């Protein structure tokens, strides 16, 4: 039985005040019926320490939105995995489509970041997903397989035991245009089958969460699919009531 996971990706949103308010509301509300789910928030980096302090003793765990592949060095503006670990970060997003597109991260770089996170005893949330053009030209599975296989070849299938995969079709992120539950389940099953070719055990254990315009209205149907183990939530995770409703939809 896989334990579900819901993670909020706050991207480059918030202020000291708004993030403290949001966290306090999440901590208060999560006491009221969110059971059996790993709950994660990924704030912007400057707020990590404040979030670490506010979340201490709560059910919420801390995540980061990005990491560098190297443990230290002359990389101005970057943040290394051991630095994140010092702030009790447990999960790190790698390969988010906004980074693949805006920062031109390649599959190979994502694979290096993935192993850097594991080396420092945190769990990578590996984001995979195709663009609209790739889906419309019938290449969605090919693209997702290539993204996953690069990581599998770099780190080996056993490394996946400590990871989470997030299937996030690029055309659904921040657009309000969610994949249907059927489309999402089909790709999640495909990803699990790809994993099963290398290890049936890891394939049955790994959590594959869905991201792309998840909201309070569509979460329950998405999370009810047999291969969907929770969600990666962007915009809707910035509103405490809606995010808690989404978290309750999986529990």
CB of 237 to ligand PEP, least distance (A): 7
Spatial distance between the Cα atoms of 249 and 216, rounded to a whole number of angstroms: 8
Interface residue with ligand PEP among 212, 223, 243, 249 (CB under 6 A) is 212
The answer to whether 90 touches 51, Cβ cutoff 8 Å, is no
Distance CA 220, CA 203 (A): 23
Q: Is 214 in the site for ligand PEP (CB under 6 A)?
A: yes
Question: Can you read off the two tokens belonging to residue 104?
Answer: 């031109």
Q: Does 5 bind ligand PEP (CB under 6 A)?
A: no
Nearest approach, Cβ of residue 209 and ligand PEP (Å):
10
Q: How far apart (Å, rounded) are the C-alpha atoms in residues 167 and 4?
A: 14
Sign of the CA dihedral running 132, 134, 136, 138? negative
Binding span for ligand PEP by CB under 6 A among 82-90, 118-126, 148-156, 228-236: 228-236
Annotated catalytic residue 168: yes
Binding mask 139-178 for ligand PEP (x = CB under 6 A): -----------------------------x----xx----
Catalytic residue list contains 29: no
CA distance 90 to 63: 6
User: What is the contact surface with ligand PEP in residues (CB under 6 A)?
Assistant: 9, 168, 173-174, 211-214, 232-236
Catalytic site positions: 96, 168
């Amino acid at each position: 039985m896989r334990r579900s996971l819901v993670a909020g990706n706050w991207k480059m949103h918030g202020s000291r005040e708004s993030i403290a308010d949001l966290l306090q509301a999440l901590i208060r509300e999560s006491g009221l019926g969110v059971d059996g789910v790993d709950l994660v928030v990924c704030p912007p980096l400057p707020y990590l320490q404040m979030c670490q302090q506010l979340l201490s003793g709560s059910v919420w765990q801390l995540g980061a939105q990005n990491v560098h592949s190297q443990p230290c060095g002359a990389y101005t503006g970057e943040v290394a995995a051991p630095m994140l670990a010092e702030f009790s970060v447990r999960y790190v997003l790698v390969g988010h489509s906004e980074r693949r597109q805006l920062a031109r991260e390649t599959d190979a770089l994502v694979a290096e970041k993935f192993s850097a996170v594991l080396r420092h005893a945190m769990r990578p949330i590996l984001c995979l997903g195709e663009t609209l053009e790739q889906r419309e030209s019938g290449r969605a599975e090919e693209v997702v397989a290539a993204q996953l296989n690069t990581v599998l070849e770099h780190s080996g299938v056993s490394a996946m035991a400590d990871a989470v995969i997030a299937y996030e079709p690029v055309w659904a992120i921040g657009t309000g245009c969610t994949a249907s539950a059927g489309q999402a389940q089909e790709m999640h099953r495909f990803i699990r089958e790809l994993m099963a070719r290398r290890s049936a055990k890891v394939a049955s254990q790994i959590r594959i969460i869905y991201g792309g315009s998840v909201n309070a209205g569509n979460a329950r149907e998405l999370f009810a699919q047999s291969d969907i183990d929770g969600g990666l939530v962007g915009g809707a995770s910035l509103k405490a009531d809606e995010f808690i409703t989404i978290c309750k939809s999986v529990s």
